[in-house]
Chains A and B, each alone.
Chain A
């Protein structure tokens, strides 16, 4: 009797769950597996093309050096963008969570995270408009400074970093804000009553307690930046060759899908290692 009810409940749960999870399986998990399979082929298995299994695509990554160098370049880009975002974003989150009081806080918080949820391509394009030679930024700087300056930021490493920080900064603000807000004000008052000054409180209390949120934000920035291709493409011009654009090229320009799949899979492995390392802290952050 009891087991009949239990069985009926299980059936109901299955009915409600299976559409969503079947969809995720077909559109995410099977494709990821297919990518692994593709990465060990000599050619795409479509039509009457000849193909057989090979480790050549991975060998190419190890031997060519160019690919590994690009991955390293992308990892460096990820580190730079992440570090800048953390340095800029954490103080902002602190001000929002612990300095601003009352109703304006919620509105300001919404304003800060709103761009994050809007179209990222368009936001990168807006930087192209601002940074281009003789563009708005050049003119603004020249209007303020008495001597002529040529900034020429467009199509440079700096342009890419600025655009990416702009894209992902709200992420670290969001996660740090949540962590900082969870710190009870009475803890800070207790520290002050014990004689601690602001810097001591920051170092011994606020930073350790908000670390999970900070790390979560950093990981959630680092991972997509390493895989970015649209931003370097648009803001970096000829300098904008990164691991992401390399993968893009395999699929839309060179049409070497097996190599692209292998490169993608290597990136996925890197991402999974990072997520795995960070997962104890991410779980603490309870996002």
Chain B
């Protein structure tokens, strides 16, 4: 177990900056989620920590010790691949024991550790199966078991759940978290699924075009995204921008958002209140209903404000009294408008 630190990590592929001076600390024993759109550099960062990507510049420290010159096989890491990468010519038990064999751990010790880890991932009786005889979720568990049996200093997960269907993915999220807690290993995982990142991580980092845009505990980042990109990438956000006045933010159509201190604010769809009658609070905006989307308990309303789409989410019953289309009022509680910076490209 160890903390991981990357300093000023930079990697370019031709004209493309896959990593642009990324500095980040991964806490010992923590569960860190790396998020970002495709091409943002999150996988490159993970592979640089693993040692598959040699950075142009910067340092990688595992447990305080620089490892840029240490080859992958000597870094004492565990890794779970998107495709699982189970060795097709070996049984489940042999797959799991591979890392032990390489370390010349033999005999009773080897068997005991294989058994323990297979029990941990609840595959105790499948040791003699071949990978092609396993379901997706079972393969995922074998990949986990194989990665942790050597007691690595850090566990790296590359989109570990993306090959599973939705129901199984949710189940495996719980499993992943349980196993990580029981082993207590520093875990870094890459995902493009923001919900997964929010659910699992103690801390998240958001990358964009090779730069670390924002990092912190998920709730903090969600509630205070600080910039428009993060606000939109993590969850959904309605952005309002205009000019700053003494009383608040003046939108181009003359409406005022009182209390705002930045030229742009973000409002989460679940915080947008829609009413047919004029609200009493200080925030009052007009918009037109375009579409109502029914999705079971929750409903989504797509509105239009001077050509800008606005989204509102609430229990479907709350939208019941609204007209199917026509002008309505928007409002939100004060404090729901998050000040954000316009995202630099």
Contact = CB atoms under 8 A, between A and B. Distances in A.
Contacts of A186: 81-83, 85
A195 B74 CA distance: 6
A contact residues, range:
10 to 19
A197 B72 CA distance: 9
Contacts of A190: 79, 81, 85-87, 146
A189 B98 contact: no
Interface in B74-93: 74-79, 81-83, 85-90
A209 B89 contact: yes
B76 A195 contact: yes
A194 B81 contact: no
Interface residues of B, number: 30
A189 B102 contact: no
A208 B91 CA distance: 13
B62 to A, nearest CB: 13
Contacts of A209: 88-89
A218 B50 CA distance: 38
A200 interface: yes
B89 A194 contact: no
Interface string A179-214: 000001011011111111100100011001100000
A173 B164 CA distance: 37
A195 B85 contact: no
Contact of A193 (B79, B82, B86): B79
B103 interface: yes
A184 B85 contact: yes
A191 B87 contact: yes
B87 A184 contact: no
Nearest to B72: A192
A197 B74 CA distance: 9
Given A195-B102, A195-B150, A205 B79 contact: no
A195 B87 contact: no
Interface string B63-77: 000000001111111
Interface string B301-313: 0000000000000
B98 A191 contact: yes
Classify the interface of chain A: helix, strand, loop or mixed. Answer: helix
B294 interface: no
B242 interface: no
Given A194-B98, A194-B99, A195-B99, A189 B81 contact: yes
A209 B76 CA distance: 26
A185 B156 CA distance: 17
Contacts of B73: 192-197
A195 to B, nearest CB: 5
Nearest to B82: A186
Given A192-B72, A195-B76, A200 B85 contact: no
Contacts of B52: 189, 192
- The residue in A189, A190, A193 that gathers the most chain B C-beta atoms within 10 A of its C-beta is A193
Contact of A184 (B74, B83, B89): B83
B102 A196 contact: yes
A193 B78 contact: yes
Contacts of B77: 193
Interface in B23-78: 50-52, 71-78
A193 B102 contact: no
B65 to A, nearest CB: 17
Contacts of A205: 87, 89
Contacts of A196: 73, 98-99, 102
Nearest to A201: B73
19 contacts: A184-B83, A186-B83, A187-B85, A189-B79, A190-B79, A190-B81, A190-B86, A190-B87, A191-B87, A192-B51, A193-B50, A193-B147, A194-B73, A194-B102, A194-B147, A195-B103, A195-B150, A197-B102, A209-B88
Given A193-B79, A194-B73, 6 more contacts: A186-B82, A190-B79, A193-B78, A194-B146, A194-B150, A195-B99
